[in-house]
DNA sequence: CAGGTC
DNA sequence: GCTGG
């Protein structure tokens, strides 16, 4: 078993935060291990508190992150002739190249965020108030994995999607290797600490499985197996999608990759041919595995933003959300956010996840004085008509008051048109909400 | 109720 | 409407 062949890349957490992006519901495949505190901190890597690992077809990619560095190493099966740990410079180079592509490190996220803040008041407000997570970028995933994951995502939550995808890999693909993150203290020396297999001090080395190809799901036994694994009605979707892929294309994965070269609309059409793939799932695949950076998938969270933060009428989640409203809402958001709107969406989406927000939202040390923002009422379904007054105010002075004033205007118009009902504010809004409003809601029994 | 779809 | 974190 390999050990201690870390290399590192200079990396600011504002450009890439593993802790944020790998838990934000883009990829469902990463394994997270919390590291025990080292006995003594003798080098930078000892400061890392978590390790992340992903099993590729031939190796396990292992990552750790500190305030200044991204540490990486590849672990190969012991049977591989090229040694159990990678000293082979050629193999090492392929790992760093994979990392650069997967995390799209050629894209300057900090620059993008500065652009978004300059063009979108809602975004700049969130940046000022401190409710937007840093280091959230769009991953460039394997299209088949991405397609599989998001077929599983319908009417489902991130935790269960993750467990489903993991169990699929475990039951449909043989293990590549077993591995257990060594304690930091063992890592620091760079020595081999696990020479013998009788070193049973460690309890459970974990088996890592590559993600199974489409052909693994074409057998008739697939559906009952997936059902037994808890895939529910998605079992049939997976099987049918895999069959269509395998029957229509000699190299299914290469076919999916080829969609990258098509215009966005054509690529979306192709994806919609698969069972279990609707507009939302197709858009996720386009954005997160086919390089369509401008695509904004509209899920319940983003629909919530569109309504409450941007005053767009969408007709609510799922039901009532007609195809044309989906498209209009998308184009409006793309108008506000620009050519990288899909990336903007990723930041807002991640920042709205409660289990991630807790990592930066510390109620005792509020970044600014709480200000009053009223929450837009819930919008009842009704046909067509996006709020016409929707627009981004001209640049100029970008004071917080100005931002809030314009939001109040939006709110009033929405109330007049649509009437009563109230939606739960997201954590984004809660941060900038007055204590008074918070108490009011609590009295109503909502929190 | 959850990153919707048939 | 599947189903479990």
Q: Which residue is nearest to nucleotide C2 (CA to C1')?
A: A232
Compute CA A97 distance to the chain's CA centroid, rounded to the nearest angstrom. Answer: 21
Pull the structure tokens for residue A67: 């305030």
Q: Active-site residue among A90, A125, A266, A280?
A: A280
The pLDDT value recorded for residue A263 is 98
Pull the structure tokens for residue A347: 């930041």
Nucleotide nearest to A317 (CA to C1'): B4
Tell me, in Å, how far CA of A140 is from C1' of B6?
29
CA–CA distance, A58 with A211 (Å, rounded to integer): 11
The pLDDT value recorded for residue A21 is 98
CA–CA distance, A191 with A254 (Å, rounded to integer): 40
A158 Cβ contacts chain C strand, under 7 Å: no
A204 Cβ contacts chain C strand, under 7 Å: no
Which CATH number among 3.30.465.10, 1.10.340.30, 1.10.3720.10, 1.10.10.10 corresponds to the domain A7-125+139-185+203-292?
1.10.340.30
The pLDDT value recorded for residue A316 is 78
A232 Cβ contacts chain C strand, under 7 Å: yes
Specify which residues A65 forms β-bridges with: A70
Which positions in strand C are less than 7 Å from the protein's CB atoms? Answer: 1-5
DSSP A352: T
Nucleotide nearest to A234 (CA to C1'): C2
With residue A32 as reference, give the H or E element that holds it: strand A31-34
A280 is catalytic: yes
The answer to whether A356 and A306 have CB atoms below 8 angstroms apart is no
Tell me, in Å, how far CA of A117 is from C1' of B3?
24
The pLDDT value recorded for residue A357 is 73
A224 Cβ contacts chain C strand, under 7 Å: no
Q: How many Å from the N-terminal Cα to the C-terminal Cα in chain A?
A: 49
The pLDDT value recorded for residue A443 is 41
Q: Which residue is nearest to nucleotide C1 (CA to C1')?
A: A233
Tell me, in Å, how far CA of A362 is from C1' of C1?
39
Tell me, in Å, how far CA of A156 is from C1' of C2?
10
Q: What is the pTM (predicted TM-score) of this model?
A: 0.81
CA–CA distance, A34 with A49 (Å, rounded to integer): 6
| Residue A443, number of CB atoms within 10 A of its CB | 9
Number of residues that make up chain A: 447
CA distances from A87 to A4, A66, A388 (A): 11, 23, 61
Tell me, in Å, how far CA of A176 is from C1' of B2?
32
Q: Where are the domains of chain A?
A: 7-125+139-185+203-292, 293-354
| Residue A221, number of CB atoms within 10 A of its CB | 9
- Look-up of token digits 């029957």: A247
Say what angle helices A143-151 and A234-248 make with each other, to 10 degrees: 150
A300 Cβ contacts chain C strand, under 7 Å: no
CA distances from A269 to A190, A225, A262, A266 (A): 51, 30, 10, 5
Which positions in strand B are less than 7 Å from the protein's CB atoms? Answer: 1-6
Tell me, in Å, how far CA of A229 is from C1' of C3?
11
Collect the ranges in chain A with pLDDT lower than 70.
1-4, 79-90, 184-203, 318-320, 358-447
CA distances from A432 to A28, A131, A377, A401, A412 (A): 31, 9, 17, 12, 19
A374 Cβ contacts chain C strand, under 7 Å: no
Nucleotide nearest to A326 (CA to C1'): B4
A354 Cβ contacts chain C strand, under 7 Å: no
The pLDDT value recorded for residue A414 is 35
Q: List phi, psi (to 5°) of A385.
A: 60, 100
Per CATH, is A293-354 categorized as 1.10.1670.10? yes
């Amino acid at each position: 078993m390999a050990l201690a062949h870390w290399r590192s890349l200079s990396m600011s957490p504002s450009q890439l935060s593993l802790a944020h992006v790998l838990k934000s519901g883009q990829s469902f495949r990463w394994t997270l291990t919390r590291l025990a505190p080292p006995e003594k901190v003798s080098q930078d890597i000892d400061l890392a508190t978590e390790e992340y690992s992903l099993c590729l077809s031939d190796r396990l990619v292992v990552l750790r992150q500190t305030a200044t560095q991204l540490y990486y190493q590849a672990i190969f099966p012991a049977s591989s002739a090229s040694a159990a740990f990678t000293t082979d410079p050629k193999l090492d180079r392929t790992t760093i190249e994979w990392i650069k592509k997967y995390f799209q490190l050629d894209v300057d996220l900090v620059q993008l965020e500065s652009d978004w803040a300059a063009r979108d008041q809602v975004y700049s407000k969130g940046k000022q108030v401190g409710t937007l997570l840093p280091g959230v970028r769009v991953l460039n995933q394997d299209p088949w994995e991405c397609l599989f994951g998001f077929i599983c995502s319908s009417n489902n939550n991130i935790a269960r999607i993750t467990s489903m995808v993991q169990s699929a890999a475990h039951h449909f693909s043989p293990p590549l290797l077993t591995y257990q993150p060594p304690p930091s203290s063992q890592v620091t020396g760079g020595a081999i600490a696990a020479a013998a297999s009788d070193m049973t001090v460690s309890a459970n080395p974990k088996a890592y499985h590559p993600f199974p190809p489409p052909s693994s799901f074409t057998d008739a036994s697939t559906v009952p197996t997936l059902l037994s694994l808890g895939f529910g009605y998605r079992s049939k979707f997976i099987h049918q999608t895999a069959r269509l892929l395998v029957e229509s294309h000699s190299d299914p994965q290469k076919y999916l990759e080829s969609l990258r070269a098509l215009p966005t609309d054509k690529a979306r059409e192709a994806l919609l041919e698969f069972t279990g793939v609707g507009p939302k799932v197709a858009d996720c695949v386009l954005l997160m595995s086919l390089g369509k950076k401008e695509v904004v998938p509209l899920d319940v969270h983003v629909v919530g933003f569109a309504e409450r933060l941007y005053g767009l009428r969408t007709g609510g989640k799922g039901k009532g959300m007609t195809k044309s409203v989906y498209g209009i809402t998308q184009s409006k958001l793309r108008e506000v956010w620009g050519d990288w709107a899909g990336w903007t969406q990723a930041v807002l989406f991640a920042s709205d996840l409660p289990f991630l927000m807790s990592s930066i939202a510390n109620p005792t040390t509020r970044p600014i004085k709480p200000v009053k923002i009223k929450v837009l009422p819930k919008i009842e379904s009704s046909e067509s008509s996006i709020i016409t007054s929707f627009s981004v105010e001209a640049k100029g002075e970008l004071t917080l008051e100005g931002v809030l004033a314009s939001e109040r205007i939006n709110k009033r118009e929405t109330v007049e048109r649509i009437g009563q009902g109230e939606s739960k504010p997201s954590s984004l809004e809660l941060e900038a909400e007055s204590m008074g409003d918070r108490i009011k809601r609590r009295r109503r029994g909502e929190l």
